[in-house]
């Protein structure tokens, strides 16, 4: 589509400069010698409209589509949705790629090689509690706020997080922002592979190395105050003592996202020194059962998967996995079925439970 802007001859030079500041593609054909009307052809599809303060606020700078309010903001977005809004200055894109230690991949190197234009790197492994021996445990409010400031994320920004596997570690980043009180944050369904498959461009230019590492460094030395206001919702997080109490007197259903063979104790854990097995009474719902080609399955299939695993999402629920990462995929899927779903995540998950000396561990097929 195209749109036109009527400009008086005396305003043409000033108007062109202002429009160029919003989006360089919009100045095509605009000249101070034009004495009647300047027609601007946008490269991307945008609605036909006359530029005004009201229209600019509705569509975002550069003709980018507008962003939903916090109450209406989705938890999962398509590549098309993101592409239409990529020029909006209130939208920030974060690459949250992370891999298991036995994957043989380097998330930082992949970010350096290519990324969605404008994306910054959210280091799942390092934007975490630096004092914990467990992988990527939640940091403190002050630490997370320092990292958010270094990422140049404001409290009212809209966020889209993605990873290079489709949907994997992005769900953990989504939950981390969500649990610290950020209201507008979504996962890119299908991640970078889906973005590229849709034919959208990637940025392969050199990254700013200082900016790449700034969030993790800021987290380790947080200032006395921060612009970003992080507020941890502890009701969405579980620790091992709460899980142990729940084993002894069950009130919440615990659902494990690890592969079924690890849940049964038949396959080794990817991290050395951990026992094999599961939290007694937990149910098995491997996160891979909720995905197809790196995307979440349709809602009807997600509902069937939870039902077949014996999970009643109307009940209080805790999701767990190996490190608190793929458990967040289960929560993301549950949110597609019920946006008000408030299931918790066992942050330490099996990386913690599997090394504790005096907690019970179940193995084999379920007894019930």
Both tokens assigned to 159: 């966020």
d(CA 155, CA 33): 44
321 carries an active-site annotation? yes
Catalytic residue among 12, 16, 321, 328, which? 321
Active site residues: 321
């Amino acid at each position: 589509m195209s749109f036109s802007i009527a400009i008086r001859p005396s305003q043409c030079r000033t108007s062109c400069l202002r429009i160029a500041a919003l989006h360089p593609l919009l100045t095509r054909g605009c000249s101070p010698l034009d004495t009647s009307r300047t027609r601007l052809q946008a490269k991307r599809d945008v609605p036909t409209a006359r530029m005004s303060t009201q229209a600019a606020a509705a569509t975002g700078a550069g003709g980018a589509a507008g962003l939903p309010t916090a109450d209406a903001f989705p938890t999962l977005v398509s590549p098309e949705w993101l592409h239409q809004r990529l020029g909006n200055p209130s939208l920030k894109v974060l690459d949250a790629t992370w891999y298991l230690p036995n994957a043989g991949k380097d998330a930082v190197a992949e970010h350096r090689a290519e990324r969605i234009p404008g994306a910054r790197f959210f280091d799942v492994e390092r934007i975490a509690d630096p004092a914990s021996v467990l992988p990527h445990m939640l940091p403190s409010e002050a630490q997370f706020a320092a990292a958010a400031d270094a990422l140049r994320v404001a409290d009212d920004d809209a966020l889209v997080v993605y990873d290079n596997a489709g949907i994997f570690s992005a769900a953990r980043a989504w939950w981390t922002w969500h649990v610290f009180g950020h209201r507008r944050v979504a996962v890119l369904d299908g991640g970078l592979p889906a973005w590229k498959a849709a034919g959208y461009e990637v940025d392969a230019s050199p990254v700013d190395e200082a900016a790449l590492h700034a969030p993790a460094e800021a987290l380790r030395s947080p200032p006395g105050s921060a612009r970003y206001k992080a507020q941890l919702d502890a009701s969405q997080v579980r620790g091992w003592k709460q899980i142990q109490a729940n084993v002894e007197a069950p009130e919440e259903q615990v659902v494990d996202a690890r592969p079924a063979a690890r849940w049964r104790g038949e396959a080794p854990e990817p991290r050395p020194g951990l026992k094999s097995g599961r939290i007694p009474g937990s149910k098995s719902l491997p996160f891979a059962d909720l995905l197809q080609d790196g995307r979440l399955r349709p809602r009807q299939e997600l509902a069937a998967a939870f039902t077949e695993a014996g999970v009643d999402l109307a009940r209080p629920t805790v999701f767990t996995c190996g490190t608190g990462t793929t458990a967040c995929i289960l929560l993301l899927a549950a949110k597609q079925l019920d946006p008000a779903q408030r299931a918790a995540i066992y942050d330490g998950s099996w990386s913690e439970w599997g090394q504790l000396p005096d907690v019970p561990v179940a193995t084999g097929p379920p007894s019930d």
